[in-house]
Amino acid sequence: MSRVHDAMRRAELLGGSGPAGGETPAGASASSVAEDAPRRLVTPDAGLIEQIQVVPFTPAPEALLIDHDRPQEAPSEEFRSLRTRLNHLQTLQPIHTVVVTSPSPAEGKSFAAANFAISESHLAGNMVLLVDFDFRRPVIHNLFQVERAPGATDFLLGNAPLAACLKRVAGTNLFLMTAGTSVKNPLELLSLQQVKGLFQDLPKWFNWVILDSPPLLFSADANLLGTLTDGTILVVRIGATTIDMVHRAMQSLCENNVLGIIVNGARAGELYSKYTYYYSKYGHEAKPEPEAEPAD
């Protein structure tokens, strides 16, 4: 926690924050770990893949998602750095299902989850699934401008088969599982045995399964998901997240499966004028990297 505390302190000293929901992640410099480090690449069940609906990549203008055709635009480089570090971490231990959450709303967790998934899907043979498990306030379907249902809740309740609840972004290795039909008690749904079974099965088809979850300090959903997956990434925001909130969030996770913390919140006009720190569970703090921009 001392490293987390120091990183947050340095981030606070940099001052300023972007618009609500804004964000910026980072990791080690892209050259610090080889992108072609050995990775477990999954050969998915062709039968399942053939049944999945293909949708065009038509992100909402305000989503600020990475565009594969314009790799030099922010926040591409920052997420490539994050991708490099986490792929290296994956070579050290089996990590395939990851929860992306934040202490409180509007800190950029959905933006981080979506762009991390997109960045991972750009690597050849890297099958990636982005899942919206924020059943209380789902946004992934809005970011990609696709239908919300059928999705995760429909599969877990047995109302739709897995293939019908997935979508593949045309021309990519990125797959989506939206939140699905609204449910009255999300925590009760997450307690079903089907959730554990789903997380055990998904790595058979996908090298990375990235879950967007509700904020830690506003519901118990993310804590429960953290116990069912391989690790958690915490997203915090300069000028909004306090040190106390970080401590409380880490304590709620028992600090035993936190893969790292993304500190974000630069204004668009300040791109490359501030720095982001990424801290991995192995105690290696990344070198400063330029920040990008918004949205939860």
- For residue 1, pLDDT beyond 90: no
- For residue 273, pLDDT beyond 80: no
d(CA 228, CA 46): 27
What is this structure's pTM? 0.77
- What mean pLDDT comes out for the span 105-124? 94
How many CB atoms lie under 10 A from the CB of residue 5? 12
In which order are the strands placed within the sheet that holds 231-237? 53-55, 167-169, 174-177, 128-132, 208-212, 97-101, 231-237, 258-264, 278-280
Task: Identify the residue with better confidence: 100 or 50.
Answer: 100
Task: Identify the residue with better confidence: 165 or 41.
Answer: 165
Give backbone dihedrals phi and psi of 271, rounded to 5 degrees, phi first.
Answer: -55, 130
CATH level 3 topology of 81-255: Rossmann fold (3.40.50)
